[in-house]
Structure 1
Amino acid sequence: MAGSASRSCCPAHLVNGGAWEIRKPHTSQLHLEGIMNATLFAVAGLPGLLVMVWTVLPTGRNWFVRRYRWPHRLRGTLAALGGVLLMASVGFAADPKDHSWLRVLVLLAGVGMIGACLVAPTFRIRHGVATQPRKVLAIGAHPDDLELACGATLAKLSDAGHEVRTMVMSAGSKGGNSAVRVTEATAGSDFMGASAVQIHNFQDTYLSEHGQEMVTAIEAFIEEFRPDVVITHSRNDYHQDHQAVHSATMRAARRHSSILCFESPSSTRQFDPTVFVDIAGYLDVKIRAVAMHRNQKGKPYMSAEKVRSLAAFRGEQVKTSYAEGFEPVRLLGSAVGEF
Structure 2
Amino acid sequence: MKPVALAEPGQRLSLLCIGAHSDDIEIGAGATILGWIERGVRLDVHWVVLSAAGPRAEEARSSAQAFLTGAARSTIELSEFRDGYFPYQGAAIKNWFEELKSRTSPDVILCHARGDAHQDHREVSALTWNSFRDHTILEYEIPKWDGDLSQPNLFIPASRALMERKAKLLHDHFGTQRAKDWFDAQTFMGLARLRGAECRAPDGFAEAFHARKIVVQ
TM-score normalized with structure 1 length: 0.56
1:245-260 alignment runs, 5 A limit: 245-253=124-132, 255-260=133-138
Task: Look up the match of 2:215.
Answer: 332
Q: How does 1:255-294 map to 2 (within 5 A)?
A: 255-266=133-144, 269=148, 271-280=150-159, 281-291=161-171, 292-294=173-175
User: How far apart in 2 are the matches of 1:158 and 1:222?
Assistant: 25
Q: Which amino acid aligns with 1:277?
A: I
Q: Deviations over 1:49-69 (max 9, x none)?
A: xxxxxxxxxxxxxxxxxxxxx
Aligned equivalents of 1:179, 1:318: Cα separation in 2:
39
Q: Secondary structure at the match of 1:188?
A: helix
* Among 58, 66, 71, the residue aligned to 1:183: 58
Give the deviation of 1:296 after TM superposition.
0.9
Q: Which residue of 1 aligns with 2:185?
A: 304
Distance 1:312 1:282 in 2: 12
Q: Is the CA contact (8 Å cut-off) linking 1:158 and 1:164 kept in structure 2? A: no
CA distance in 2, matches of 1:154, 1:221: 21
Change (3 A) 1:313 1:325: same
Quick one: distance in 1 between partners of 2:119 and 2:88?
A: 11
Distance change in 2, residues 1:129/1:328 (3 Å): closer
Q: Which residue of 1 aligns with 2:109?
A: 230
1:137 Cα shift? 0.6
Q: Is the 8 A contact 1:153 1:279 kept in 2?
A: yes
Check whether the contact 2:141–2:149 (CA below 8 A) recurs between aligned residues: no
Q: Does 1:166 pair with 2:47? A: yes
Give the strand-richer structure, 1 or 2.
2
Give the length in aligned residue pairs.
200
Structure number with higher helix proportion: 1
2:118 maps to a residue whose letter is: H
> Over the residues paired in the alignment, what is the CA RMSD in angstroms?
1.9
Partner deviation per Cα, 1:304-332 (whole Å, 9 max, x = no partner): 11111011010000112110000002223
Shift of 1:215: 2.4
Q: CA deviation at 1:265?
A: 1.5
Task: Give the aligned partner of residue 153 of structure 1.
Answer: 32
Q: Is the 8 A contact 1:274 1:327 kept in 2?
A: yes
Q: Work out whether residues 205 and 240 of structure 1, in 8 Å CA contact, stay in contact via their aligned partners in 2.
A: yes
Partner of 1:204: 83
- Contiguous gaps of at least 5 residues in structure 2: 1-6
* Structure with bigger gyration radius: 1
Using the TM superposition, give the Cα deviation of residue 256 of structure 1 relative to its aligned residue in structure 2, in angstroms: 2.0
Aligned partners of 1:222, 1:271: CA distance in 2, in Å? 29
Deviations 1:59-112 (A, max 9, x none): xxxxxxxxxxxxxxxxxxxxxxxxxxxxxxxxxxxxxxxxxxxxxxxxxxxxxx
Deviation at 1:268, TM superposition (A): 5.0
Larger RCO (CA within 8 A; separation ≥ 6) = 2
User: Which residue identity does 2:130 align to in structure 1?
Assistant: R
Pick which of 260-269 and 276-285 moved more.
260-269
Aligned residue identity for 1:288: K
Report the identity percentage.
Answer: 28
Q: Structure 1 pair 269/293, CA: closer, same or farther in 2 (3 Å)?
A: closer
Instruction: Note the alpha carbon deviations across 1:198-243, whole angstroms, 9 max, x for none.
Output: 1111101101122232222223223322101111111111111111
Measured after TM superposition, the shift of residue 248 of structure 1 is 1.5
Once residues 290 and 249 of structure 1 are traced to their aligned partners in structure 2, the CA distance between those partners, rounded to angstroms, is 25
Deviates more, 1:265-274 or 1:285-294: 265-274
